[in-house]
Amino acid sequence: MSVEGLRDYRYEWKIAINQMDLQILRTRLRSVLTPDPYSLHGDGLYFIRSLYFDTPENKALREKLDGVNKREKFRIRYYNHDLSFIRLEKKYKWNSVGNKTMAPLTSKETQKIIAGDWLWLADSEFDLLRELYYKMLTQGLRPKTIVDYQREAYFYPAGGVRVTLDYDLRTGVTSTEALSPDLPTVSVPDNPAVMEVKWDTFLPDVVKAVVQLTGRRTAPFSKYANCRVFG
């Protein structure tokens, strides 16, 4: 993929799970799917930090909670504490399908945005950074909440399937200092976790069988919304 690009629309299921479900799913997934080889140790494990944006009226949060069918959200994200690979992402959701647009940021550029110095975005070579500028200017979009979590990612080639287990959800509360290695974070109440199943063309029966859990159904789940309980 180029440094800035649009992923095709993908289908997505989200299923809220508990810690026992997590252990069951981990065993099942490892027996059928392949752990993400691009993770830190090739075992599918990642640490993810995201800095989500929202408006003064909390547009992104309210649209999620209200179940708006067409919605978007902006976030800055990096993995495994690696500040050499930071991305601005816009995730667009339409009912059960979604896509994601990305553009690169340096740590210096990221810190400038966090500090409120963002007018330079208007002259960026990347469309997405210019779009962020426009929405910061017209909608008051600003960095709002830090979301940290652990991810286990698994792949199945047929259908372009990716299954992730996200857990140990933590937030920086009111801080937006996303690049700080010493940022204190707190666990989200009730220790929520989520399984996300995404695919391009079809979901193979063998994967459907692996991810089925008694008493669990697909339902909206937002890590951002869960972290906003602190403000």
Residue ranges of domains in the chain, CATH in brackets: 5-230 (3.20.100.30)
Joined tokens for residue 225: 């919304």
Which pLDDT score, from 0 to 100, does residue 4 have? 52
Neighbours of 83 (CB within 10 A): 15
Q: Which of 100, 127, 211, 227 is nearest to 176 (CA)?
A: 227
Joined tokens for residue 28: 């099942």
Which pLDDT score, from 0 to 100, does residue 48 have? 97
Quote the CA–CA distance of 177 and 185 in Å, as a whole number. Answer: 11
* DSSP code at position 132: H
Which pLDDT score, from 0 to 100, does residue 8 have? 66
- CA–chain centroid gap for 4, Å, is 17
Tens place of pLDDT per residue across the chain (231 aa): 334 544 568 899 999 999 999 999 999 999 999 999 888 778 899 999 999 999 999 999 999 999 898 999 999 999 999 999 999 999 998 877 889 999 999 999 999 999 999 999 999 999 999 999 999 999 999 999 999 999 999 999 999 999 999 999 999 999 999 999 999 999 999 999 999 999 999 999 999 999 999 999 888 889 999 999 876
CB 207 within 8 A of CB 157: no
